[in-house]
Chains A and B, each alone.
Chain A
């Protein structure tokens, strides 16, 4: 069911083993096991409500914030369990950043948004913050568009710019893994392609795990793809294999558009 490539091995950055997630009595994720490698884009695909976002949010303990959500099993970052009793979610979310489905800029200036993470982690030096701001915005391919209005409200940016700013905001805290929850679903095609180009750049330095409802997007940007259906990981493999030689009937039905 899981082909050779993503089996748990040394290059694995982030690994979920036998993960079960419940919302109250609802069993949202069932025995999910998935290894995500360093400097690689892993796409999570599947029909709406299949649990791919739920799974993603378990990878940096965002479910801690959801009343009634319960996570069982383990998730390891560089071999260390992030659900261990001595693991600190504040540290984990610093190392594993998250970009959300809808751009969620703080109602502050662009500069304040990008430097938010650095400030909460104690950086006070103005020159250092300026440098972090510029570096992050450059990495997110947004610098040229906003360098003259860093001290204007982030809410004045377009949706696509806001989303790239949110990515810059995550990059500013220098995480190791970036989780993206359908980051382009609220954007137009041009903004979407900018985000996709950006993801291509990011994987040189980061592990990227992205939830997407667009199979074309998964095919364009990811090395590995996991197909989710009804709370289970049906099939994992290289993106090429999943889209050209799926092993499971359900995967094939989904990628050929028979359901979903």
Chain B
């Protein structure tokens, strides 16, 4: 130990070759990572721009609000848009209460253990079922067994089965993001579990929950495979805007697929590109709404002034 650490320490502040190489690699890594991240933005922008280029000029009042045509050109997509929203809302009405209750129970009430693991496993298994398989299941149950035929409610129930696990997961994640110190504070003041959940945990989680729900809504809006055999490929042009759910209800996403694969109308490209663009705008709108709505509700329910 002849030389102390202080004596050995270099006195230079400029870099030697070894440091320069390391700094270059560092810069390279930064550039590559940045480029990869940016390419996501670029892809989305290019995709939107291309769809606008193809379908933008078809976005007329007649197209968006008009009735579809079976054999002639000039059909619109009004009832399809209506059905997409109809099935979406119906699905959410079925899904949200079940998913919310199950998620709250698992996260707040059930200690980690066998029951929780079984429910978790079931939900994950359900989540991995391909949507076309779920569609066939819906066909057997709702269309044949219940004799509903192709119906909006059959479609909505099938979509409920499909999206229940994801929404339950969203609920659990949102609840688990609420710090335990808040639960302790509430219980420490003599609140019951339910009061704690209702007054402290849920308000703190509602922003994240809303974001999750709206993102899933976007997915439901664009779903096709599960609806082909359940909600059907047709709708009544005589009564295109019905409130009752026991009727075939072709959605926009289904219409897009149907037009391209089965339809005999001469203006397939027009309807296809226009529908694709409308669908994309809707789904994007859902995503933007999810972000804005989520942060708005977080502020609203947590009293954060900034």
**Contact surface of A with B, Cβ cutoff 8 Å:** 60, 62, 65, 67, 90-91, 93-94, 97-98, 100, 102, 104-109, 112, 116-117, 119-121, 152-156, 166, 169-170, 173
A129 to chain B, nearest CB (A): 14
Residue of A94, A112, A152, A166 near B185 (CB, 8 A) is A166
A151 to chain B, nearest CB (A): 8
The CA-CA distance from A102 to B185 in the complex, in Å, is: 11
Residue of B190, B301, B304, B305 near A173 (CB, 8 A) is B190
Determine whether the beta carbon of A94 is less than 8 Å from that of B303. Answer: no
Q: B25 on the interface (CB 8 Å rule)? A: no
Determine whether the beta carbon of B303 is less than 8 Å from that of A121. Answer: no
Q: Which of B16-24, B176-184, B241-249, B251-259 contacts A (4 or more CB under 8 A)?
A: B176-184
Q: B119 on the interface (CB 8 Å rule)? A: no
Question: Closest B-chain residue to A102, C-beta based?
Answer: B181
* Given A108-B302, A156-B306; A121-B190 close (CB under 8 Å): yes
Residue of B190, B199, B200 near A93 (CB, 8 A) is B190
Give every chain A residue within 8 A of B303 (Cβ-Cβ): 107-109, 112, 152-155
Chief secondary structure at chain B's binding surface: helix
Give every chain B residue within 8 A of A153 (Cβ-Cβ): 302-305
The CA-CA distance from A60 to B185 in the complex, in Å, is: 12
As a 0/1 sequence over residues 275 to 306 of chain B, the CB contacts with chain A under 8 angstroms (1 = contact) are: 00000000000000000000000000111111
Q: B263 on the interface (CB 8 Å rule)? A: no
Residue of A62, A67, A152 near B188 (CB, 8 A) is A62
Q: B264 on the interface (CB 8 Å rule)? A: no
The CA-CA distance from A28 to B185 in the complex, in Å, is: 23
Give every chain A residue within 8 A of B305 (Cβ-Cβ): 152-153, 156
Q: B192 on the interface (CB 8 Å rule)? A: yes
Residue of A100, A108, A170 near B181 (CB, 8 A) is A100
Determine whether the beta carbon of B189 is less than 8 Å from that of A173. Answer: yes
Determine whether the beta carbon of A116 is less than 8 Å from that of B302. Answer: no
Q: In this complex, which of B181, B184, B189, B204 has the most chain A Cβ atoms within 10 angstroms of its Cβ?
A: B189
Determine whether the beta carbon of B304 is less than 8 Å from that of A155. Answer: yes
